[in-house]
C-alpha cells in the first residue's frame, strides 16, 4: 500500500515537472544566472541548436546601471537583493536589464563561488529554496553540460572586444554598443531566428526610451525588430498581439516563449498588418520591471 502511494506521488510530481519545464521539448536558448553571496555572477546560455554553453564571468567591480535603482557594482547585487529576501531574483533582473537579454531563472549559492554545475546539483537537492529553476530542468542542463561544448568568456576577452573599459577609479564599465554587438554574435537564438518573424514595439507607457530598450531584448532573441514607435498614454500592462496569419503551432510557440522570457500573459490573436509585423508589443509601465 505504501509503495502504491509513493508511486502515485512520484507520478504526480513527474507530471508537474514535465508540465512546468521550460526546457523539455524546446529547441530554444535557455539563459540563467548563478549568483553567490561572495559577489560572483555567472551568466549562462544553453544553445540546443549549436550544442554549446556560453558562460560569461562578470567582474565583481563592474559598474552597471538600472532604470529603477541607479548605478552599482555587479558584485553588490546579491547583498542588495538580500534585504528583501530576493538575492537571486534581484540579480537575475538587474543582469538581464543591463545585458538586454532575457534571463529565465537564477540559482543562489550561499557562501560559495559561483559555479553552474555545483549550482544545478544544489537545485536538484534543495529546489526552490535556492533557485527558480525546476528540478527536471536542472537535471536536463546537467546532462547537456556533459556533451555540450563550453565556451567561457573571461574579462580579458571582453576587454579586447571593447565591451569592458576601466574608469579613473580602476572600476570596470561596459560600453552599451559594443556589448550589444558582442551579444549579437554570442547569444543570438538561431532557433527563434529561424522562425523569420518580425516584431513592432509600441511605447504606451509614457516612459521615455522604454521601447528602444525593450527592442534590444527582441534583437538579442533572434526576432527582427520591424518598428519602434512612441504613442500617447499611460498604460500599466503590456499587451501583445500575434498575427492571425500565424499558424496555431507558431502562435503557441511564441506565446510560450514570450511568457518564458518576460512573464507576459496578455497575449491575443489579431490583425497586425498595420505594422507589417507578425508580433505587435504595446508596452505599459510594467515593462520597466524587465530592468
DSSP state of 285: G
- pLDDT tens digits for range 94-139: 999 999 999 999 999 987 776 899 999 999 999 988 889 999 999 9
Q: With CA atoms as reference, report the closest residue to 202 among 239, 242, 225, 231.
A: 231
3-12 burial: b if 16+ Cβ within 10 Å, else e: eeeeeeeeee
pLDDT of residue 12: 45
More confident residue, 142 or 11: 142
Q: With CA atoms as reference, report the closest residue to 212 among 185, 193, 234, 230.
A: 230
Backbone angles phi, psi at 6, to 5 degrees: -60, -45
Contacts of 248 by beta carbon, 8 Å cutoff, 6+ apart: none
pTM of structure = 0.85
- pLDDT tens digits for range 72-105: 899 999 999 999 889 999 999 999 999 999 999 9
pLDDT of residue 124: 94
Do 47 and 53 meet the contact criterion of CB atoms below 8 Å apart? Answer: yes
Label each residue of the chain as H, E or C.
CHHHHHHHHHHHHHHHHHHHCCCCCCCCCEEEEEEECCCCEEEEEEECCCCEEEEEEECCCEEEEECCCEEEEHHHHHHHHHCCCCHHHHHHHHHHHHHCCCCCEEEEECCCCCCHHHHHHHHHHHHHHCECCCHHHHHHHHHHHCCCEEEEECHHHHHHCCCEEECCCCCEEECHHHHHHHHHHHCCCHHHHCCCCEEEEEECCCCCCHHHHHHHHHHHHCCEEEEEEECCCCCCCCEEEEECCCCHHHHHHHHHHHHHHHCCCCEEEECCHHHCCCEEEEECHHHHHHC
- pLDDT tens digits for range 230-281: 887 789 999 999 999 999 999 999 999 999 899 999 999 999 999 999 999 9
Lowest mean pLDDT among 53-57, 68-72, 172-176: 68-72
C-alpha cell at 74: 555587479
pLDDT of residue 16: 56
3-state SS, residue 223: coil
Amino acid at each position: 500500500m505504501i509503495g502504491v502511494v509513493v508511486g502515485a506521488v512520484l507520478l504526480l510530481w513527474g507530471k508537474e515537472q514535465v508540465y512546468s519545464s521550460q526546457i523539455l521539448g524546446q529547441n530554444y536558448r535557455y539563459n540563467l544566472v548563478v549568483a553567490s553571496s561572495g559577489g560572483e555572477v555567472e551568466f549562462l546560455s544553453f544553445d540546443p541548436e549549436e550544442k554549446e554553453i556560453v558562460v560569461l564571468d562578470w567582474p565583481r567591480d563592474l559598474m552597471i546601471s538600472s532604470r529603477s535603482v541607479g548605478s552599482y557594482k555587479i558584485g553588490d547585487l546579491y547583498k542588495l537583493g538580500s534585504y528583501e529576501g530576493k538575492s537571486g531574483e534581484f540579480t537575475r533582473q538587474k543582469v538581464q536589464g543591463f545585458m538586454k537579454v532575457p534571463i529565465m531563472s537564477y540559482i543562489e549559492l550561499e557562501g560559495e563561488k559561483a559555479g553552474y554545475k555545483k549550482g544545478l546539483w544544489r537545485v536538484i537537492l534543495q529546489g526552490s529554496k535556492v533557485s527558480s529553476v525546476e528540478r527536471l530542468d536542472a537535471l536536463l542542463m546537467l546532462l547537456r553540460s556533459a556533451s555540450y561544448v563550453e565556451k567561457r568568456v573571461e574579462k580579458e576577452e571582453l576587454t579586447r572586444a571593447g565591451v569592458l573599459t576601466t574608469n579613473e577609479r580602476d572600476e570596470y564599465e561596459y560600453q552599451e554598443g559594443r556589448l550589444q554587438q558582442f551579444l549579437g554574435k554570442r547569444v543570438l537564438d538561431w532557433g527563434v531566428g529561424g522562425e523569420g518573424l518580425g516584431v513592432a514595439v509600441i511605447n504606451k507607457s509614457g516612459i521615455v526610451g522604454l521601447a528602444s530598450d525593450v527592442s534590444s531584448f527582441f534583437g538579442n532573441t533572434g526576432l527582427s525588430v520591424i518598428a519602434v514607435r512612441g504613442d500617447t498614454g499611460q498604460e500599466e500592462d503590456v499587451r501583445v498581439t500575434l498575427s492571425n496569419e500565424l499558424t496555431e503551432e507558431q502562435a503557441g510557440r511564441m506565446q510560450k516563449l514570450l511568457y518564458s522570457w518576460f512573464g507576459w500573459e496578455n497575449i491575443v490573436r489579431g490583425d497586425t498588418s498595420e505594422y507589417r509585423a507578425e508580433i505587435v508589443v504595446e508596452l505599459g509601465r510594467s515593462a520597466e520591471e524587465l530592468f
